[in-house]
Amino acid sequence: MKSKITILVMIMFLITCLSAQYTGEGVFEKLQHNAAVETGYYVIGSAQLVATTNSIGIHALKSELGGSGNATWTYSELISDNIETTVIENPGTGLVHFIEKNNETGNYTIQRVTDQFFLNYVSAGTTGVSYLAAIGNDTQWSITGNETAATAPFLIQSVSGGTNRQLRYRPDLEPGRFNAVASGQSQSRPTMLFKLTSEVIPVPVITNVTPITTPPVVNQPLTISATVTYTGVENLVVHVSYTLNGEDHNLAMQATGNVYSATLPATIMTVGAAIELRVVANYGAPNPVLSPPQRFFVGTTPMLTLRENNANGLPKFEGYLVQITGVAINSPSVISNAHTDFMMQDETAGMSVYSSTQGVTFPEVTQGNSYTVIGTLSRFNGRTQIAPTNITSHGIGVLPEPFLNTIAYFTTYATAERYESSLITVKNVRIHDSSLPWPTSGTGTQTVVLTDGTAQIDLRVLPPLFGEAPDFPADIVAILSQWDNSAPHTEGYQIFIRNFNDVYPTEVLPVTITSFSVSAISNSAAKVQWTTESEVNMNRYKILRNTTNAFAAAVEVYAVASNNLPLSQTYEFIDNEVKSGEEYFYWLQIIENNGAVDNRGPLSVVIPSNNEPPVDDGFTLISNVYPNPVRNTDVANFNVSVRANETASLKIFNLRGQLVREFDNISGNDVTLIWDGRDLYNREASAGVYFYQFTSPSYFSVNRLVIVK
């Protein structure tokens, strides 16, 4: 009987409280945290992504009764397209709730102004989470959970992936932000509570803020203006609030009528500076009025800067407007004919560019061409990408050299993230899982698991490559990507190849050595240096020396064990047992685990006389080859330099070791040799893999060139 009387008293109290109901006029101000919730009228809002504008706004919520006795929240209408808003004026009665707080127990009752039922708050002791749900019938609701963390925001969480929402309370979400997770899982949006004030307060309105649609120019000032309309009597102070590389700054705005402006100085507009700014209007209220934030980088930003992640493996600067310039390492058709989807690289890192926006036309993207892309830094699962608004072509660029390392390196988060969306090379790979063979037919991409003995990685095979499998073991050039749809996004690295020219039979590589050189470094010392491309099954190296070019009489002066890693290594030997004024010949002996021996050389060097200081006559080397691969209409450019007292030769061989083209008697510094793609008989060379060998008396190098038709 006593409980019935208590309920009756509560109902009568609520009816009394609601007798002067909200009638549709009034100003609601946003609360800073839950502790401020006292008895009164409230609009309950939640940040929501608005599909039609692709922007974030505040939706008001209304309580509805779901099926099977489930009480839920649903979005009612968009009340602001700015999640930073602090004031809502004159919302409809259907959006307003009356909240009654029992100060003794901390419990609440909640009733929508237009409804005849109310909500009881009942503590259920669920740590860290509070939620709204029906208990027993369609008219009695409860918010259950731990209500002690008063400063944490509420949130609205979807029920079964639909539009229904539960009122939730989580301390790990920032108020007023959209917090989306993967498709098929719940989406969490913190709740914002707006309380009816006792009087209508004039509030400044900020409009016409200067839009930042392209990254500002480096070393140029940036002027920001806005229209601020205000009918109140309190002093109005307007300024630009900006964060520069994590530090907060304020800049006063000067008024001409109701138009305010301020200029950010040129000194802060440095390359890659990250800026977030908004216009702030202070009018004597506890909470100023804020314009929506604009986030951007200044000038053309190095891609490595944009690859910085947070603790969850997501881009730190997600949502920033950026500009990058680099070379496309694949054409979009390699991945999809339906979308703009390609990877770019500059000298620092790589970046994915993706857009599925209908009706937006970008220039045709060609592998090997240089582009400038302007867009918003975003992500797809764990993959960092740019959603472009503008793509500008600069013509033929220089494709970057693929970074060589092991599969283990490219699947470990600390190192792999650096090379996501970049060209990589892995040596001596084979199919690891025979139950997933190379696909011969089907639709969509399919997976082949590869290994090089250090780890496994998924190779995503695209439909144009279905059919006969390439021969394994092989060396591959690939693009590193990531598919990881759950936080933290630190796994799921995978690769894909662009065509079968990215797969090279291991057994036809000219083994290991890509360069071998010798030079005098004083009147009594010579330096011998060599670089390997790969060291599979290698045992050790030896240096042999003679005062003539007779190999049979050469003596061993140095030996070193091979690191035996499937990636590039550089070795060096300083020979201090030479005499001034003498000429010496050196051989490099390569010894494999099976006992096979390969000799390179001789290379020669003259040691300066004691009364003649070493002369800096330059170095012989090949510094760059571009483009690589060579396309139909391209020519191959070889940048070389030759020591003053030497001449050099460049020879191009096919996979069978046959000489295709030769350049003799090369001399001079910074010389460009041009190969037009024709052989010794003026026939056009076919598509495939070729090797170029550059030699002089003191230098030897060999590497790979690809022709793509």
- Count Cβ atoms below 10 Å from residue 603 Cβ, excluding itself: 24
Sign of CA dihedral 102, 108, 109, 110: positive
Alpha carbon distance 446, 439 (integer Å): 7
The verdict on 343 and 223 lying in the same domain is no
The verdict on 112 and 8 lying in the same domain is yes
Residue 63 in this model has a pLDDT that exceeds 70: no
The verdict on 187 and 263 lying in the same domain is no
The answer to whether position 611 is within a domain reads: no
pLDDT in tens, 114-124: 654 444 333 33
- How large is the average pLDDT for residues 244-263? 94
The answer to whether position 612 is within a domain reads: no
- Looking up residue 441, the CATH number of its domain turns out to be 2.40.50.140
pLDDT band at 199 (very low <50, low <70, confident <90, very high): low
The verdict on 62 and 183 lying in the same domain is yes
The verdict on 471 and 539 lying in the same domain is no
- How large is the average pLDDT for residues 456-477? 88
Reported as half-sphere exposure (CB side, CA atoms, 13 A), residue 548 has a value of: 4
- How large is the average pLDDT for residues 605-624? 76
Give the DSSP H or E segment for 2.
helix 2-17
pLDDT band at 506 (very low <50, low <70, confident <90, very high): low
pLDDT at 102: 66
Domain of residue 561 covers 509-606
Identify which of 71-75, 137-141, 448-452, 510-514 has the greatest average pLDDT.
Answer: 448-452
- How large is the average pLDDT for residues 261-269? 96
Domain edge (last residue) among 146, 175, 196: 196
The verdict on 128 and 34 lying in the same domain is yes
Alpha carbon distance 524, 521 (integer Å): 8
- How large is the average pLDDT for residues 57-73? 53
Domain edge (last residue) among 545, 577, 606: 606
Query: Is the pLDDT higher at 563 or at 504?
Result: 563
The verdict on 231 and 330 lying in the same domain is no
pLDDT at 143: 38
Structure tokens at 583: 């000429």
- Looking up residue 278, the CATH number of its domain turns out to be 2.60.40.10
> How many structural domains are present in the chain?
6
Residue 694 in this model has a pLDDT that exceeds 70: yes
Alpha carbon distance 460, 309 (integer Å): 25
- Looking up residue 669, the CATH number of its domain turns out to be 2.60.40.4070
pLDDT band at 594 (very low <50, low <70, confident <90, very high): confident
Contact call for residues 229 and 204 (beta carbons, < 8 A): yes
The verdict on 93 and 182 lying in the same domain is yes
Mean pLDDT of the chain: 78
Which of 260-269, 534-543, 641-650 has the lowest average pLDDT?
534-543
The verdict on 79 and 182 lying in the same domain is yes
The verdict on 573 and 600 lying in the same domain is yes
Which residue has 């007798």 as its token pair?
19
The answer to whether position 365 is within a domain reads: yes
The answer to whether position 342 is within a domain reads: yes
The answer to whether position 616 is within a domain reads: no
The verdict on 86 and 186 lying in the same domain is yes
- How large is the average pLDDT for residues 452-479? 88
pLDDT at 111: 67
- The 8-class DSSP code of residue 54 comes to T
The answer to whether position 127 is within a domain reads: yes
Which of 18-27, 170-179, 289-298, 336-345 has the lowest average pLDDT?
170-179
Domain edge (last residue) among 455, 473, 507: 507
pLDDT at 632: 67
Residue 4 in this model has a pLDDT that exceeds 90: no
The answer to whether position 456 is within a domain reads: yes
Residue 250 in this model has a pLDDT that exceeds 90: yes
Radius of gyration of the chain from its Cα atoms, rounded to whole angstroms: 35
Which of 155-159, 192-196, 312-316, 550-554 has the lowest average pLDDT?
155-159
The verdict on 124 and 28 lying in the same domain is yes
Residue 702 in this model has a pLDDT that exceeds 70: yes
End-to-end Cα, the chain, rounded Å? 91
pLDDT at 1: 39
pLDDT band at 656 (very low <50, low <70, confident <90, very high): low
Residue 631 in this model has a pLDDT that exceeds 50: yes
pLDDT band at 450 (very low <50, low <70, confident <90, very high): very high
Residue 10 in this model has a pLDDT that exceeds 70: no
